[in-house]
Amino acid sequence: MCLLLVIAATGCNKGKPTERERLAAARAALAELQRREAAQKSQHGDRAPSDEPGRVVERNEPAENTDAGKHRRPSSDEWVIDELCDVGPAGPAAATPHGVILVTRDNELVRARWTPPVGPPARRPGPTVIAPVDLPRERFAPFARGPAVLADHAYWISKGRLVRRALENGSLEALTNDARDFTRVAAPPAGGDAPVAVAYIASRPSDGEMVARVWAEGHGIATLSPEGSAAISVALTRDGDSLLALFIEGRMGMSPVHARSVTLSGGPAKLGRDRVVWVAGSSDPLTEVHGLASLGHRVWCLLPTERDTTRFGLARFAVDSSSSEEVLVSWRDYPNGLQPAPVAAATVCDRDIVVYARPATPVPHAPQELHWATLDERGLGPSTAVASASAFSDVSVSPVAEGALLVYVADHRTWARTLRCPKAR
């Protein structure tokens, strides 16, 4: 039996762009950023006027383990990978502690509820029980970015607006009217009574420049990007009592990664100084930066990007609260490059985990695999392949009771499976 909850419609959708038009618009936006780089250099040199990153030291992460967890019963100290669940048509989706949230073309929210296992869980794979979404695929934009879910609301971009809707029978709220279409909203992990805040990419009215901004309930809007810089992606995580925003510029030949603290303690948001914490190589319009506040009280920046002219991978480095003379960048090399290159990270079962898609082989247009690995002070551990597809367009992960819910979009469908915690420590 299916359980399906559709939350308040807001009218019909007209004139939605195709995926080809979406990519063309994104590439045009990046081209515009690159054309403006010459003007920025004439005023500020090769970088915006902010702290310089330290000397870069690179190292390699351990290789993936594509056989882990397959065709054998897990022991008590291993994760259990449950069966795959076909949730519904491809669309903007996000994992939550209670199931999957999807956004329709008409800005409705559709909830596919997750049912936890009953009784003591067995140490072998079982079904992932999620109510299927029985709606036609035409109701969803298959390549749109999934919403950010924070507390009891979902946030996303629609028609140049940052919007949100309560998960339980809420009406659509327009929070800003300066957002850039086809970009992702970033939300920090839930933090008890912490103020509600999300980060997004906006179009500056004066010149149309793409910039990173933060919206905080009761604290207004603040622009994260310093004068003379731009942004194509932004992440938001927690760093002690403050928030930390990470955002990346898209430039020809180099892509500075910025970090900036956000303090919400009454009145407008207070921004810390802007710091360039690393300079990556060339960016694609679909390049996205990610942040993870780890159990070890460090903030990790995760960025799938070019390593050099012949290599591509997942770059990881710590974002310290002060400038450092050295930046240690660890790489999980992929067999080949890909765009989009979905990544998600979360803390579940008292462990930090990272989920990422990568090509299965170096052959161009090869099928892709979805891997997950734990992250600790020693680095990103050996990975386990949990899914394969012709291509992955999005992925998200959320803590649930006794494990994690992994949601991804691939092969014209939205899929989910649970990962259950190891029992022995």
pLDDT (tens digit, 9 = 90+) per residue, 37-72?
444 444 444 444 445 667 899 999 977 765 544 544
Helices and strands of the chain, counted as H and E runs: 1, 31
pLDDT digits (tens, 9 = 90+) for 70-123: 544 555 568 999 999 999 999 999 999 999 999 999 999 999 999 998 766 678
Q: Reduce the DSSP state of residue 137 to 3 states and report it.
A: helix
pLDDT in the model for residue 349:
92
Backbone phi, psi, residue 179, to 5°: -80, 155
Give pLDDT, residue 378.
Answer: 85
Say what the pLDDT of residue 194 is: 81
Neighbouring CB atoms inside 10 A of 354's CB total: 24
DSSP label of 138: G
Whole-prediction pTM: 0.86
Tokens of 357: 């898609």
Task: Output the DSSP codes for 241-299.
Answer: TEEEEEEE---SS-EEEEEEEEE-SSSSPEE---EEEEEES---TT---EEEE-TTS-E
Q: For 4-420, CATH number?
A: 2.130.10
The number of CA neighbours under 13 Å toward the Cβ of 313 is 21
Cis omega (within 30 of 0) for bond into 399: no
Token pair for 333: 């090399």
pLDDT score for 8: 41
Residue ranges per structural domain of the chain: 4-420
In whole angstroms, what is the distance from residue 197 CA to residue 155 CA?
Answer: 10
Residue 61 near residue 331, CB atoms below 8 Å: yes
> Which segments of the chain have a pLDDT < 70?
1-53, 65-77, 119-121, 192, 321-324, 424-425
Token representation of residue 79: 């994760």
Instruction: Tell me what pLDDT residue 78 has.
Output: 85
Dist. CA 84–CA 94, nearest whole Å: 16
